[in-house]
Amino acid sequence: MDLTAVVVAVAAFVAALLGAGLAVLVARSQVARAAGPAAASDGHELLAQHRAEVRHQLDRVADLVLGLSDRQVAQHGEVSASLAEALRATAGLADTTAHLREALASPKARGQWGERMADDVLRLAGFVEGVNYRRQVSLPGGTIPDVTFLLPGDLLLHMDVKFPLDNYLRASNAVSPADRRGFEEAFLRDVRQRVKELAGRGYVQAGVTVDHVLLFIPNESVYGFVHERDPGLADLALRQKVVMCSPFTLFAVLGVIRQSVEAHEVARTSDEILECLASFGDQWTLFSEQLDLVARRFDTVHKGLEDLTGPRRRQLERQLDRIGQLRTRGALPANEGGTASPAVPRLTPVDRAG
């Protein structure tokens, strides 16, 4: 019920009660007038008091009604704004749904949509085209997978993003339950046929690829529907070396691939480090041999230097001492001036050690 109608009904009820009270007061006033002038005067005063009280109550009811009306107007404006926003969002969603339905109606558009979903997952997983994977690589058998992942050990992993969605969309738009069941069964048959087709395209090659190929299902609800309605389909696909992946499961598979690549790079880098250490050891051995050779040569030079500054120097000093003694004993005669010839100066050996 509308809030204004409730308030008006309450106001009418209060007015009716007040009107009944006034009627009673008027009747009493008439009785008092018939009883006498004094009683009539008291009745008039009582009637005036009750009139004032009734007017006061009516004013309060009017204020209450106005206040409720103002609040209702404000609330109505908020509700109207919320409804308008909801209508705009609903219209936008309906428009997006219509465009998506139109896009999915075309097999080519569905293929592009699957490729776009796969691109988003690859980008979120940190994969870079040309480094971690390649697109549309032609195989020797003439087949072309959508994505080829580069794995350690020069191995490859192929993925196909094309998936049959025609009958699934028809089942979603079917009106009768019988039509819906028919389209669902046809969709599951399409999926089985797609798995069989993918297993026979030569995407698994011994020594070149891993043992499985990926089939990307670009929608989680479709992936869940396949597992729910046909639980044996996953086992059938695995027996044929086909792994069905939704966007979430593909992200997990890419995480495992990335981890294996990083582990292989660490192992390869470790081997290179070990090779560098081995080469460093060889060079250190050669360096040590040359250092020992130079040290031995320095020892030989040092011994020769000690021989020069030791015995050889002492022998020379002895000879110089003898020469000095001979000059002292055999002094030359005086010259014409009567002075003696100056003595031969003593040779002082040079200290070469300093």
> pLDDT tens, 154-212?
889 999 988 888 888 888 888 888 998 999 999 999 999 999 998 888 888 888 888 88
- Name the residue with higher pLDDT: 33 or 111: 111
Among the candidates 226, 244, 263, a domain finishes at 263
- Residue-level pLDDT at 193: 92
- Residue-level pLDDT at 270: 77
Lowest mean pLDDT among 41-50, 232-241, 264-273: 41-50
Query: Is residue 126 a part of any domain in this protein?
Result: yes
pLDDT at 339 over 50: no
Q: What is the pLDDT of residues 283-308, one digit of tens each?
A: 888 888 888 888 888 888 888 888 77
Do both 114 and 224 map to the same domain?
yes
Do both 84 and 47 map to the same domain?
yes
- Name the residue with higher pLDDT: 152 or 66: 152
Q: What is the pTM of this model?
A: 0.51
CATH number at residue 186: 3.40.1350
pLDDT at 340 over 50: no
Query: Is residue 334 a part of any domain in this protein?
Result: no
- Residue-level pLDDT at 166: 84
Domains identified in the chain, total number:
2
Query: Is residue 172 a part of any domain in this protein?
Result: yes
Do both 70 and 154 map to the same domain?
no
- Residue-level pLDDT at 7: 56
Average pLDDT over residues 109-135: 85
Residue pair 156/210 in contact by the 8 Å Cβ criterion: yes
- The pLDDT-based confidence of 338 (bands split at 50, 70, 90) is very low
- Residue-level pLDDT at 107: 62
Mean pLDDT across the chain: 77
Residue ranges of E strands in 16-112: none
Do both 94 and 119 map to the same domain?
no
Structure tokens at 255: 């995480």
Lowest mean pLDDT among 39-48, 68-77, 177-186, 282-291: 39-48
- Domain span at 242: 110-263
Do both 116 and 255 map to the same domain?
yes
Query: Is residue 331 a part of any domain in this protein?
Result: no
Query: Is residue 25 a part of any domain in this protein?
Result: yes
Do both 150 and 89 map to the same domain?
no
Q: Which of 262, 259, 224, 230 is nearest to 245 (CA)?
A: 224
Q: What is the DSSP string of 190-258?
A: HHHHHHHHHHTSS---TTTB-S-EEEE-S-HHHHHHHHHH-THHHHHHHHTTEEEE-HHHHHHHHHHHH
Among the candidates 75, 99, 123, a domain finishes at 99
